Structure 1
């Protein structure tokens, strides 16, 4: 072990495995480790660094706001907080009735949404529906919404009333009744391996929740802020939800989460019903507003759509025996593998200077910065092809194809 690995093993809580590298700086879509080795970052902190690393807009927003006002309590409003709330409402089509609650992470945003559902449901609507394979966070409330048994089991009993159903319209029709307070859905299940909902699912979910008086809450933590080639994953469905949750890419690297409510759902929270000491502080909201403004002004939503299509074509053109297919939209991409060797592919990629992620044993997840262009995709092609070839050559699949 090197010194930093000793320090990490001794000083950090063992909630994660051994750290893969000591990263010391970043620029654009590249990161450097303590040895000076350059890595092409096609994970972006798991869909977080929307503008890449050390983007001038991000750096300037942090510097300016830190030199002006970093924090006040939520007894007060600040200009960045109000500006960001107005921008999010506009981009998400919330209209005049929309309201925004700010927290510090996606899990906190979903905790707030869980409480919103409880406020709506009361004693008459004790049921909350979420989907099988869903991931909504690791705090106790958001973990209750999450369907991964290995994450849930050590912490049970969790808050009651949550039921996980298959991601089919038929299952939704069978489960929804007048005792359901809310339905939580992700437009694309990123942690499940970048799995999209069935065609027409969100439209059916909106119709059925309206019929039964339940809230439709859409988790846009991984799919929001232009990641899918649209501002939000639900945009193309043409529906209006009751609430969406946001985090990750909206801050470009600064911790921030948000709950946006629509219509009557905006009246459910009352003074004292929820709060966060740091939520909505001027530093985080100023940076997030600058990040979203740059995504908007630089056409990065459109770039995500175009580069995502280019990237999918590039992967399929590799003609690797390991690549079974490509899923996802925009720059949230899942590469389906023909064998459960995702961890091996990740390791081989990192050895060659490419950062990707194993969403599950048979899926590689890609979520690069929205700023990538031809140069980054060309570099990715070379590195990823080499990594796939190395793993295929070492596997039974590779031996069978030579």
Structure 2
């Protein structure tokens, strides 16, 4: 019976939901509503069909999303939300993208999967396109080879394995990896080992040995750890997403690249969240001098607009250390994922599209800066670049409280470390929804402040 109710509700919402925020002109028009109760249709679905059978992962509110369109999402209670999360920087072209739906249907009638035992057309085309478009965009000057996989974590696992193999080809003891405070590279054992957050690491210790932790604000911390005979790689996010929307300075990255060169150490850029158009260029490092470019580049999230796909791009120098059978994957490079990835790359590398991202970023920064001015005792600054943005809150305003209040008011946003509210919308979010969403955010901050008095 519950399944039937859920299905019927989805059909109802597909015809139009109750809007929290549609056509907002004044803050007073925003209608707040708490998360669904335990005895609601949502509560019954979660407690009967979901929680008893799902492994514990995130702490989630009583919210069941049923469908979306563009930068709007709808739930089982027929409520509409402006989406500033895009599935954690994933759905870069928005929900239910019509062109992608047509590609998925077309490819599903031809070939979904054949494994890496054989070549397939879309995988080869995507690998070629990633390398060529990267160079055209001013990114990774020595990009040459691509390993296709299924997620960001897998992309980073491949990067770490490739780096270890490269190091051992020089010296059997050259296996150490340097990572950085506030970084996030994934939750599998290798990727988790270079994610130095006690909250994530402690329950699963001991982790992979040979990992050293430096500070992105202190190049001397790297100098004290890097060793020509021991260090094989340094892994860093040019903009830390999960860690607090922290933009690593060009000066630091330049000095880091030189340290790596001087010590025969590979430089890995993790652009899983900050890459693929999110900063207004194909890659966050595309703004850097060629001399600063990485030896290995990892990507995922936006590459599939919601379909699971990741990739690791390497130079020929790294490729030369690999042998047949060193690494592999069953699903990676499947025809469907690769075809979707090709479409996404074509879209986000279009010059007009990139200009649109920068235009939208300017609108966001202008509106968010007004929030900083309006609440100087509670909001410290706007952080980030492009459409990877954050509001840095002061200690007397918690990001989780604001996110909860935003959800009640019809806006989905997410937290990041260091008490930052993270904003990572679709790269093609309409300008009117940017303004609408920021207005809800403003109103929500005001409510949280007033309720805390």
Q: Establish whether TM, by shorter chain, passes 0.5.
A: yes
Report the Cα distance in structure 2 between the residues aligned to 1:3 and 1:220, rounded to whole angstroms. Answer: 39
CA distance in 1, matches of 2:316, 2:335: 26
Q: Does 1:119 align with 2:168?
A: no
Given that 1:358 and 1:365 are in contact with CA atoms closer than 8 Å, whether structure 2 keeps it comes out as yes
Change (3 A) 1:211 1:104: same
Residue among 271, 293, 299 paired with 1:220: 271
2:275 is aligned with 1:242: no
1:128 aligns with 2:177: yes
Match status 1:330 vs 2:381: no
Cα–Cα, structure 1 residues 222 and 341, in superposed 2: closer, same or farther, change >3 Å?
same
The answer as to whether partners of 1:128 and 1:180 remain within 8 angstroms in 2 is yes
In structure 2, C-alpha distance between the alignment counterparts of 1:199 and 1:72, rounded to whole Å: 42
Whether 1:86 aligns to 2:86 is no
The reply on whether 1:282 has 2:335 as its aligned counterpart is yes
RMSD of Structure 2 on Structure 1 (CA): 1.5
Match of 1:387 in 2: 444
Extract unaligned runs of 5+ from structure 1.
none
Q: Any idea what SS the aligned residue of 1:370 has?
A: coil
User: Which residue in the other structure is 2:46 paired with?
Assistant: 5
How far apart are the structure 2 equivalents of 1:360 and 1:208?
A: 28
For residues 330-379 of structure 1, the C-alpha deviation after alignment (integer angstroms, 9 at most, x for no partner) is 00001101235111100100001100001136210000000023211121
SS of equivalent residue, structure 1 residue 183: strand
* Preserved CA contact (<8 Å) 1:341 1:361: no
- Whether 1:156 and 2:212 are equivalent positions in the alignment is no
Report the Cα offset of residue 305 of structure 1.
Answer: 1.9
Are residues 1:351 and 2:403 paired? Answer: no
Whole-angstrom CA distance in 2 between matches of 1:277 and 1:258: 14
Instruction: Say if 2:156 and 2:185, in contact at 8 Å, map to a contact too.
Output: yes
Residue number among 291, 299, 303 corresponding to 2:356 in the alignment = 303
How far has the Cα of 1:199 moved from its partner? 3.6
TM-fit CA distance, 1:297: 3.0
Q: How far apart in 1 are the matches of 2:212 and 2:142?
A: 33
Aligned residue in 1 for 2:27: none
Q: Is the 8 A contact 2:163 2:318 kept in 1?
A: no
Per-residue deviation at 1:177? 2.0
Match of 2:24 in 1: none
1:16 aligns with 2:72: no
**Normalised TM-score (structure 1):** 0.95
> Can you list the C-alpha shifts for 1:24-45, whole angstroms capped at 9, x where unaligned?
0010000000111110000100
Q: Which moved more, 1:206-215 or 1:289-298?
A: 289-298
How many positions carry a matched residue from both structures?
396
CA contact (8 A) 2:244 2:418 kept: no
Runs of 4+, deviation exceeding 4 Å: 94-97
User: Could you tell me how far 1:95 is from its partner in structure 2?
Assistant: 6.4
Tell me, what secondary structure is at the counterpart of 2:284? coil
Equivalent position of 1:376 in the other structure: 433
In the alignment, is the contact (CA less than 8 A) between 1:242 and 1:263 conserved in 2?
no
From 304, 316, 319, give the equivalent of 1:251: 304
Specify the alignment match of 1:292 in structure 2: 345
Kept in 2: contact 1:224–1:250 (CA 8 A): no
Correspondences of 1:48-67 after superposition (within 5 Å): 48-67=90-109
Of structures 1 and 2, the larger Rg is shown by 2
Q: Deviations over 1:232-273 (max 9, x none)?
A: 111111232111000001111100010000130122222111
- Measure the CA separation in 2 of the matches of 1:366 and 1:300: 19
Distance 2:114 2:181 in 1: 40
Give the unaligned 5+ runs of structure 2: 1-37
Mapped partners of 1:375, 1:60: distance in 2: 27
Greater shift after overlay, 353-362 or 342-351? 353-362
Structure 1 residues 76 and 19: CA distance shift in structure 2, 3 A: farther
CA–CA separation in structure 1 for the residues paired with 2:421 and 2:340: 30
Instruction: Tell whether the 8 Å contact from 1:129 to 1:165 is kept in structure 2 after alignment.
Output: yes
Q: Distance in 1 between matches of 2:384 and 2:142?
A: 32
Q: 1:261 to 1:67 in 2, by over 3 A?
A: same
CA distance in 1, matches of 2:147, 2:383: 32
Aligned partner of 2:245 in structure 1 is 194
